[in-house]
Amino acid sequence: MAGRRRVSGSSVVVLCLLLVSLVACGGRPAGDGVRADVQRVLDRRAAAVLDHDESAYRATGTATQYARLRAVPFADWSYRVTAVHDDGDTATADAELRYRVRGYDKAPVTVGRTLRLTRDGSGPWRVASDRPAQKAGDQLWDQGAVAVVRGEHSIVMGVGQSTERLRSFAGLADRAVPAVSQAWGTDWARHVVVLVPKSLDGMAELLGSPASSYRGIAAVTTGETGAPAKAPADRVIVNPDAYSMLGPLGKQVVLTHETTHVATRAHTNAATPLWLSEGYADWIGYLGSGRTPAQAAPELGRAVAQGDPPAALPTDRDFGFGGDATRLAKAYEGGWMACRMIADRWGEVRLREFYRAVGAHKERAGAVEGALKDVLQTTPADFTAQWRAYVRAQLG
């Protein structure tokens, strides 16, 4: 599950269009000399991050960000200036920040940043602020000082969280990783990065989406933009408000579910329906838990009891976070029941092969149909009929 959108301010766009063509928002386009000067300042700033040199960082401007991110073990950190608009002694720079967490990210996270710089006459440029670009989500250190806890198979980074709580997340993640590897296989990184913001609002800011989209959602996984599909810098992002409402089993199921998304990312694409990706993550999440269908699929159970069993597999639209909570729960439960049925009737190996066969396609058309035929030797109509009967039999 991934975060997506932030609505830009149309009034800003309109204002920009009204300005003279030679002048951009925030000042005139800077000449090559100014842009080169700004790039050099940001290069020194990046080097100071990697060298853990606070004095050198302060020499380039405000050190607020340094104090917040100093505990994060970065392997890479660099800026690429894409545009500069200056107005004499002030300038606004658009830049791409690329960073990689040591030992965890095979590819860098790439995010847009907007920096404000100042200078005194002909003196050097100094960074006054470094914020997310208009359409970019927060980075964790934008929200406060980051605390870091390392597990055997995980690194947990949090803001406004106790060390004890971060260690509890590391424990959950360290149990999730081997469980996922046992079911899915070992052809993935076999470690996870978990981000724990202070609140639901902090989670939403990390994802660049409204908080209402994730209310009641305990955690999501996002494949960060800018990383190749086979080596994404995935993050499990926790909603601490919803997570605190779960019991021990629920907390473990959620972390194992999200870890499954990290493991399967290279085989999950536009061809993969959400009933399969979410259902498979739930299937691994519940493995060995002892949860019965009645316990794990209460909403579907109620529908069956009321004589209203599902007529078709859940659609992608049924998984919308901002929609009806009952519809969302039934979608997850329906996907889980479909994957559970495949494991029961065709075996766990075939379930894994089916998932990978669907993801081998590059587009949705024909992907599920082809995998049903090649791996399970069935058709969509027959599979759906079997699933409907399975749901009624397991929950009736």
210 contact partners, CB below 8 Å, separation of at least 6:
204, 322
- Alpha-carbon distance 306 to 284, whole Å? 29
What is the per-residue burial (b if ≥16 Cβ within 10 Å, else e) of 197-210?
Answer: beebebbbbbbbbe
Q: What is the pLDDT along the chain (396 residues), one digit of tens a residue?
A: 443 333 333 333 332 332 222 233 445 566 678 999 999 999 999 999 999 999 999 999 999 999 999 999 999 999 999 999 988 899 999 999 999 999 999 889 999 999 999 999 889 999 999 999 998 999 999 999 999 999 999 999 999 999 999 999 999 999 999 999 999 999 999 999 999 999 999 999 999 988 988 888 999 998 532 334 444 568 999 999 999 999 999 999 999 999 999 999 999 999 999 999 999 999 999 999 999 999 999 999 999 999 999 999 999 999 987 678 899 999 999 999 999 999 999 999 999 999 999 999 989 999 999 999 999 999 999 999 999 999 999 998
Amino acid (1-letter code) at residue 109:
V
How much is the pTM? Answer: 0.88
| Complete domains list, the chain, with CATH | 10-136 (3.10.450.50), 150-251 (no CATH), 268-396 (no CATH)
- Alpha-carbon distance 276 to 353, whole Å? 12
3-state per-residue secondary structure call for 267-311: HCCCCCCHHHHHHHHHHHHHCCCCCCHHHHCHHHHHHHHCCCCCC
Measured N-to-C along each axis, helices 163-184 and 248-264 cross at an angle, to the nearest 10 degrees, of 60
Q: Phi and psi (nearest 5°) for 28?
A: -80, 150
In this structure, the dihedral spanned by the alpha carbons of residues 124, 127, 128 and 131, taken in order and rounded to 10 degrees, is 160
Per DSSP, helices labelled H in 114-162 are none
Asked if 73 contacts 148 with a C-beta cutoff of 8 angstroms, the reply is: yes
Cα–Cα nearest to 192, from 97, 90, 277, 261:
261
- Alpha-carbon distance 149 to 354, whole Å? 36
Pairing assessment for the beta strands 154-158 and 192-196 based on DSSP bridges: parallel
